[in-house]
Structure 1
Amino acid sequence: MVGRTGGLCLNAGGYSPGMDELIDLEERGWRALATEGAAERFYHEVLDDEPLMLLPGGLRIADREEMVRLMSRTPWEAYRLSEPTVTRPSNDVGVVDYVAHAVREGGAYAALVSSHYVRRGDGWRLYFHQQTPR
């Protein structure tokens, strides 16, 4: 697991930095989630204008600012991402899925994660994100 000090964590399944820009973007997101104050900046930059998140406990969030607030709460103490894959239905759409293991105050967490990105004129934007507990 990678702690708040950072470092590469997507190292299972033959991953290496630069393998895919969308996997790199996901790793940057988790690094921001594990760094006090970084998540708000990161998600303001990467979220699409009308994103959707489906999270454990039946939580459905379709409000961009609510997502930023939620992602900016208690940082993860450590995380590990494994088995990453990327599917590109078109040049401007990408789907990343992987397994996430993370720890923070309150306990351990494991989920199958899927993030869907859309390429906009100024880069990739996170349009849809879902976490299914394992």
Structure 2
Amino acid sequence: MDIAELLELEHRGWQSLCDGTGDVFYGRSMTEDGVMVLAGGQVFTRQDVVDSLGAAPPWRTYDITEERLVPLNESSAALVYRGRAYREGAEPAFTALMSSVYVRRGAGWALAVYQQTPVPA
């Protein structure tokens, strides 16, 4: 299990949120029963994620720092990091501590749980 492999997946997810294809990316990369626990207090199923990202404004840019890998067993791991993302205009950055739990599916990985904890300004 390599942090670089899971970090690459996380970057691909964020890039899809920047180019407006997040609905397609997460529709393909989440497990059937996967969920996202979002900063606003919502828990979204995979279908909720697909539906909401289809209409969401894209992020302009993002960065990932303080990343670390927490192996759970030989076929699952959590990637924990500080994420910061910016939309267009003067809106302040969205900064949160984020966790993505991935499970091995064949030769690849699938996102089972994603969670955000906002970092106060």
1:87 to 37, 59, 70: 70
Distance 1:53 1:40 in 2: 13
Q: TM-score, normalised by structure 2?
A: 0.86
List runs of 5+ in structure 2 lacking aligned partners.
none
**Structure 1 stretches lacking a partner, 5+ long:** 1-17
Distance 1:49 1:122, change over 3 A: farther
Q: TM-score, normalised by structure 1?
A: 0.79
Q: What root-mean-square deviation, in Å, do the aligned CA atoms of Structure 1 and Structure 2 show?
A: 1.6
Determine if the alignment matches structure 1 residue 70 to structure 2 residue 55: no
Residue number in structure 1 paired with 2:87: 104
Higher relative helix content? 2
SS in 2 for 1:117: strand
Distance 2:24 2:107 in 1: 17
Equivalent residue pairs, number: 115
Q: Hey, what does 1:20 align to over in structure 2? A: 4
User: 2:70 corresponds to which letter in structure 1?
Assistant: T
Contact 2:76 2:102 in 1 (8 A): yes
Corresponding position of 2:114: 129
Which amino acid in the other structure matches residue 66 of structure 1? D
